[in-house]
Amino acid sequence: MRKILKKTAMISSLTFSSRMLGVIRDALIAMCFGTSFQSDAFFIAFRPFDLLRKLLSEGILSVSFVPVFSKALENEGLSKAVIMVFSFFCFISLAGIFIVLTGIFCAPLIIKVIAPGFIGDSYTSGLTMILFKIMLPYFWLVLVAALCMGVLNSLGHFGAPAVAPVVFNLVLIVFAIFFSNYLKIPVIGLAAGVTIGGAVQLAIQIPFMIRLGMFKIPLFQFPRLLSVCFFHIGLLKVMKIMVPCMVGAASYQINIMVASFFASKLEEGSVSFIYYADRLVQFPLALFAVSFSMVFLPELSKKAVLGHLDEIADLFSNGVKLVLFITIPAMAGLMALDEKIVALLFGHGAFKGIAIQQTADCLFFLVSGLWAFTGIRLFVTLHYALSSIRIPFYSGILGIVLNLIFCCLFVDSLGLKGLALSVSISGMAGFVFLLINMPGALNIDKSGIIVSACRSVFLSVIMFFLVRQASAFILKEEWNRFWFGTGVMGCICFGMIFYFSVNVFISTPELKMLKKGMTK
């Protein structure tokens, strides 16, 4: 656990940098474009690529690739594993190029599907189509970058894959500031930044792949490798489980995209409100659950290959307790300071008034399911490390179907709040399903996880009301941005001090575990 916590801390620090740059990027977009038709067009066009990026670059491709690659590495050696990587590269390259070309020709149909609320011959629809085509090469780039990430993570190298999103956000910020203003349609600069950022994101990982020997393929083997690249046993195993794995692990991202489809039928700016709320939810989700899972998966996969089931059970139980111990109060803090945080991060330039309120409303209902989104990611990682894909797949299907039903029911009566609530309820249902159907071969401390989570919930509820009252008493709308930001940070620190002080006073095992893992 100590080694996992230290690696997780390293990835979390890099993820924190990436998310902060992502918030700065989105703040610049909000300042320049507000919640206009240009921002709606960009976010709708970017949503499929953003979904793919989250599916792949946050390690969801790894849940299908890493266990198979780790098994090949352990049982057959590095040379055989290199051949598997080459085979996978050939396949995803050809598939990516085919999809890019298909997307160029079928863009009008795709836009009708992903944005049914946009009128077919409207300016917004046409702009969405242009932005979509500009970003299409990013599809291939992110596929290859995700493959590199899966390989590097399997070999215990987490730094470069974690740095890549940081660079991606930096490129987008540069394009938003320095290039967009020189274009007749400024938002086109953002679309170009997505594609260029994807290229840089891939380029960063290539030197590490070379250093680890992933390109050491003798030239005389190329003809034979090319002839069998689509029939490599490792590739066939990964392809067989990849789609079910993605459905099981990415139900949240899919549900957010579905909610955006419904939002395109509401008033202008609705797509943007959901996007900005999702960005704030993604912050703690990526910082804790995704970072932990990226380190968790290779470790659990190796132990599964060696048959150390007792070690897997202990490692997983302790890991879930720690992640929920941190995630639940973060959820309560975001709910308590929803409008204040939105106003601080995005409330400037063209992003004012109703935009802040609508985004805060979405955030409140969306972040209420953070504990479930986090739990799903961890339980899915456990199942995939054990090469079990059926239960996570059923959980993902359950969540997606429920979200679709609730969106249809709530969109007319509750509007954006109903769409955000639909995503959260479906996530909770998926988590409960996974909790009930834990792997039977493992002696996981289910009751201990529930007790730990309930204790965190109880303390976080008290913290919620205290922070809510403190923000209402301290923060004033007429303050300038510096003092307002200082006040928000003060409220956050107050909540953290209360939560951890009480845990120190009652001597919770999670805090002891955290201190032991980080200090020794």
CA distances from 163 to 203, 296, 424 (A): 12, 18, 30
CB-based contacts of 171-174 (< 8 A; 24+ apart in sequence): 171/196, 171/197, 171/200, 172/25, 172/197, 173/21, 173/24, 173/25, 173/28
| pLDDT for res 56 | 64
User: pLDDT of 426-482, one tens digit each?
Assistant: 999 999 998 888 877 777 778 888 898 899 999 999 999 999 998 888 877 666 777
Whole-angstrom CA distances from 173 to 26, 51, 191, 450 are 9, 20, 12, 42
Provide mean pLDDT across the span 212-228.
60
* Contact present, 60 and 244 (Cβ < 8 Å): no
Q: Token digits for 28? A: 């610049």
Is the pTM higher than 0.95?
A: no
pLDDT of residue 249: 72
Model confidence pLDDT, tens digit, residues 228-256: 555 667 667 777 777 777 777 778 888 98
Residue among 505, 11, 36 nearest 268 (CA): 36
Given this model, what pLDDT does residue 7 score? 59
What is the C-alpha to C-alpha distance for residues 319 and 419, in angstroms, rounded to an integer? 31
Half-sphere exposure of 364 (CA within 13 A, CB side): 16
Question: For the chain, what is the mean pLDDT?
Answer: 79
**Confidence at 282, pLDDT banded by 50, 70, 90:** confident
